[in-house]
Structure 1
Amino acid sequence: MLEGIPAIVVGVGLLLGLMLLGLPVFIAFLTVNLLAVGLMLGPSGYGMFIASMFDTTTTNSLVTIPMFILMGEILFRSNAVDVLFHSIDTIVGKVRGRQYVLTVLLATIFSTLSGAAMGVAAMLSRSLLPTMVARGYDSKLAIGNILAGASLAPLIPPSILAIIVGMLAGVSISGLLIAGILPGLMFAVLFLGYTFIRVRLDPSLAPSDEGIRKEPSVGEVVMALVQLIPFSIVIISVIGLILMGIATPTEAGAMGVLGALVTAAIYRRFSLSLIKDSTISSARIAAMILIIMATSKLFSQLLAFTGGATALTQLVAGLDVAPWLMIFLLMALPFILCMFIDQIALMLIVVPIYIPILNNIGVDPLWFWLLFLINITVGGMTPPFGYTLFALKSGWEDGRLAEVFSAAWPFVFIFILGMVLLAIFPGIVTFLPSLI
């Protein structure tokens, strides 16, 4: 029987190989787990597999996931997207490069609804990008802003990935959700700052808005703000309930669903068909995540059984490297792997292996896992294999993939700069969670 680090190498290698062959994530985990149980424990070990699946699927923390998904589905189908688009378009007003500003703001807000970078990138590449290119905006700068804004999805709550990481790593889910707020806003400001500098240095990147957009009146701005109130109440109430310690993430998610239904009624889109379609779509997504979680939990248990996790911890403890260098190495691996495999699949593989290493080097787990979330998101938009790039290209049929690749690099470096700032000033991550 394989033991120690060789068990980790063979197990992870086989898992990644099956995923790269195109097998669904849950089938890859199921295959490796069944194979490992049969080889190490024999037929009697399959009872352990069933018990592990039951224990995972009955975890209370997982209830939060379908709540947040359902809230987003209802808001998407309730005309909230159209209202957001037109209201923010009015509020931005007439500024040089206003469509870039609109892109970043919309991507940031849509990230609170979707929680998936690929979904936001695909949607904006279909709806906003063609219009910007037709009006004479620079396609690369527009693409970069869409990719960067969409990549904030795992950070800004409610985030499905934050819930999964919190559950796997054993850190506060409420704390991890709240921890993403200030970094998410910081990144949005960095994107806007970079865009304004580029436009200031090269005015040709943004056409004059004369004849396209008039300065909005005070009444138009007020009306736009009023139209945003229902949506804003839903998002703020969910985040606020968690931040004030009044509700758990699951309870806040349930309140968010109720608020989304009220919002749908205010926007005159409430109907039985909306509830039916939203529920079916949410059930499909949540079931997929639940199946993946159920089939993956035993993988970490088997690594512990073989002594792999202990051996890896001892190996790391024996390395004479500075903690910052170890953190860099721990970040580099998922950054590269996330260009090839799904974020959730990567987390399910890496998080159980990282936990004992983090305990050994003594870093703040909330800070580390927030950086980890940022890291895997940036990997997803980094050429040449980041899947967020291909999601954007699938929605923009007129462009070239090489142009998308070229547009991504400046914003990848901005993300890296932001991560350096979070490393130097960890309080940006830990301040809000400390208030809970």
Structure 2
Amino acid sequence: MTGPLSLISLLLAIFLAGGLWVGFALMAVGIISLEMFKTMRVDRFLAGDVWGTATALELVTLPLFILMGEILFRTRLSENLFSGLAPFVRRLPGRLLHVNILGCTMFAAVSGSSAATTATVGRITTAELNARGYDDGLVLGSLAGAGTIGFLIPPSIPLIVYGVLAEVSILDLFIAGILPGLLLAAMFMLYIGAAALAQPGAASSPEPSTSLAQKASALGKLLPTLMLIILVIGSMYVGFASVTEAAAIGVLGASILAAFERQFNIRMIWNALLGTVQTCSMIGLIIAGALFLSKAMARLGIPTEVANAIQALELAPVTLILLLMLFYLALGCFLDGLSTIVMTLPVTLPLVVGAGFDPVWFGIFLIVTIEMAQITPPIGFNLFVIKGLTGKSIARIARAAAPFCGIMILLVLLLIGFPELATWLPQSAR
């Protein structure tokens, strides 16, 4: 076991450090390791495995949810979110800073992409909040932290990938992510309120009060997005539609919203389809490479050997999970979340299931830990998105995001202490 595992680790480090695409790197490592340690037709094995991955019915959900997010990304949703949410948070400590949290949470429920959530909400809120005199650190940090909620609130692209790789119900994963996602948003808002009270200059001067008519008008701007969220998530929760059918409903709803705003045209459709193809191609290549490498590792007996070695240490289940949390936090500094999932799951999932943990719970635990990879230097993708929006340095944005990263660690500890946060809702929905 030591020889194959050492070779795989070394080759992965070399290929990734050399800039080779993750999907190709995973495939190359699988091919080389099988050629060296097994006598078999690797070319046929690879061809059959890639074809099986590309034609898996579970992956139909992925392009549909991505297309829904691409369509909404090209509408006036971000403007409507800001103007629609602002009247309802003016009297809270921190005032309009909460729009970052609530706006990202709402867009995450119709997007599934952390980067798209950050970019869509941030292109309006950062300019507005800075112009109103809000503390720059809280503006940047709240956007960076809240943008990661797109990984947790359904429909989540990483949850779909995890469900395919782990052979776990995607619907159960979607439902399991609702409570932790809302809890994380609430924890972010509590922190902003506490920070605003501790630093009176962090927020602008009190906003003018709004009449009931103004609040009704603002609610009208939020209503289309709320209806789409209810339509997509509600149809899955009550059993009216499968995950794939709900994704198709979401695309239809997003198209209607775009048409209602008079932005549904040939150019917008082309750009949305092109963005979907590019994203799906990237994710599909990573998934194909990951599944091939995982099967190659299974042929070499690596997951079983690693599991037996760790079980020989007789670690308590909680100790194992805490070590995995530190492991994923360290990986998050160097790899993006999706790559982390596909590269480590063949080894870590059997360990966790063998220790008695629910694979649905582990999916939520894993997503929260890789969320932190989005806002940790040097390659936190959300940091680069915000840098593009604001022109601030990566170091400045990372410092602002650090407290929100700490809040996510607290959420992980809460999930460990109270696993029902992730398991209760899917169990009650069955």
The normalised TM-score by structure 1 is 0.93
1:201 alignment partner in structure 2:
198
Matched, 1:411 2:411: no
Distance (Å, rounded) in 2 between the aligned partners of 1:405 and 1:394: 14
Is 1:383–1:405's contact at 8 Å kept on the other side of the alignment? yes
What secondary structure sits across from 1:157 in the alignment?
coil
What is the identity, as a one-letter code, of the residue corresponding to 2:184?
Answer: F
Structure 1 Cα separation of the partners of residues 234 and 344 of structure 2? 31
1:231 to 207, 225, 233: 225
1:5–1:222 CA distance, 2 compared to 1 (3 A): farther
How far apart are 1:78 and its partner, in Å? 2.9
The aligned amino acid for 2:329 is: F
How do residues 41-80 of structure 1 correspond to structure 2 at under 5 angstroms?
Answer: 41=38, 44-80=41-77
2:310 maps to which residue? 316
Given that 1:65 and 1:160 are in contact with CA atoms closer than 8 Å, whether structure 2 keeps it comes out as yes
- Paired residue for 1:143, among 135, 140, 144? 140
Q: Give the % identical residues.
A: 34
Does structure 1 conserve the Cα–Cα contact (< 8 Å) formed by 2:31 and 2:42?
A: no
The correspondence for 2:115, drawn from 95, 115, 118, is 118
Q: Could you say what secondary structure the match of 1:153 adopts?
A: helix
**Residue matched to 2:27:** 30
CA–CA separation in structure 2 for the residues paired with 1:351 and 1:400? 33
Instruction: Indicate how the Cα distance of structure 1 residues 143 and 159 shifts in structure 2: closer, same or farther if over 3 A, else same.
Output: same
1:363 CA displacement = 0.9
Whether 2:246 is the aligned partner of 1:252: answer yes
Greater relative contact order, per chain length (Cα 8 Å cut-off, separation 6+): 1
The code of the aligned residue for 1:63 comes to: V
Q: Deviation of residue 154 (structure 1)?
A: 0.6
2:209 corresponds to which residue?
A: 215
CA contact (8 A) 2:23 2:285 kept: yes
**Residues 170, 182 of structure 1: CA spacing in aligned structure 2 closer, same or farther, 3 A cutoff?**
same
What is the 5 A alignment of 1:273-422? 273-383=267-377, 385-397=379-391, 399-422=392-415
One-letter code aligned to 2:277: A
Q: Residues of 2 paired with 1:401 and 1:303: CA distance?
A: 37
Match of 1:269 among 263, 288, 296: 263
Deviations 1:191-212 (A, max 9, x none): 1111111111221111204xxx
In 1, Cα distance between the equivalents of 2:277 and 2:61?
A: 13
Partner secondary structure for residue 152 of structure 1: helix
Q: Deviations over 1:241-260 (max 9, x none)?
A: 21112222111101111111
What is the Cα deviation at residue 395 of structure 1? 2.3
Alignment correspondent of 1:191: 188
> Which amino acid counterpart does residue 98 of structure 2 have in structure 1?
V
1:161 is aligned to 158
Residues in 1 aligned to 2:201 and 2:231: alpha-carbon distance in whole angstroms:
42
Residues 220-229 or 128-137, more deviating: 128-137
SS in structure 1 of the partner of residue 375 of structure 2: coil
What is the CA distance between 1:380 and its match in structure 2? 2.7
Moved more, 252-261 or 285-294: 285-294
CA contact (8 A) 1:117 1:154 kept: yes
Shift of 1:299: 0.3
- Counterpart code for 2:114: A
Contact 1:323 1:361 in 2 (8 A): yes
Equivalent position SS for 2:96: helix
Q: Partner of 1:207: helix, strand, or coil?
A: coil
Of the structure 1 ranges 266-275 and 34-43, higher mean CA displacement relative to structure 2 is found in 34-43
Bigger shift: 13-22 or 296-305? 13-22
Please say if 1:102 is aligned against 2:95: no
RMSD: 2.0
Query: Structure 1 residues 79 and 395, CA, compared in 2 at 3 Å: closer, same or farther?
Result: closer
1:433 equivalent in structure 2: 426
TM-score of the superposed pair, with normalisation by structure 2: 0.94
CA separation in 1, counterparts of 2:419 and 2:306?
Answer: 27
Shift in Å, 1:67: 0.6
Amino acid of the structure 1 residue aligned with 2:245: E
Query: 1:379–1:386: 8 Å Cα contact kept in structure 2?
Result: yes
Q: Residue 236 of structure 2 aligns with which residue?
A: 242
Q: Displacement, 1:123?
A: 4.7
75-84 or 407-416: bigger deviation = 75-84
SS class of match (1:98):
coil
Measure, in 1, the Cα distance between the counterparts of 2:12 and 2:95: 46
1:20 and 1:220 map into 2 onto residues whose CA distance is 54
Q: Distance in 1 between matches of 2:373 and 2:194?
A: 25
Flag the 1:336–1:263 CA change in 2: closer, same or farther, 3 A: same
Distance (whole Å) between structure 2 residues aligned to residue 432 and residue 190 of structure 1: 20
Report the Cα distance in structure 1 between the residues aligned to 2:317 and 2:41, rounded to whole angstroms: 42
- Taking the aligned partners of 1:273 and 1:393, their CA distance within structure 2 comes to 27
Q: How many residues align?
A: 429
- Of the structure 1 ranges 423-432 and 37-46, higher mean CA displacement relative to structure 2 is found in 37-46
Question: For the structure 1 residues 267 and 91, does the alpha-carbon distance in structure 2 shift closer, same or farther, using more than 3 Å as the test?
Answer: farther
In the TM superposition, what whole-angstrom CA distance separates every residue of 1:304-347 from its partner, at most 9, and x where no partner exists? 11111111111122112211001111222122112211222111
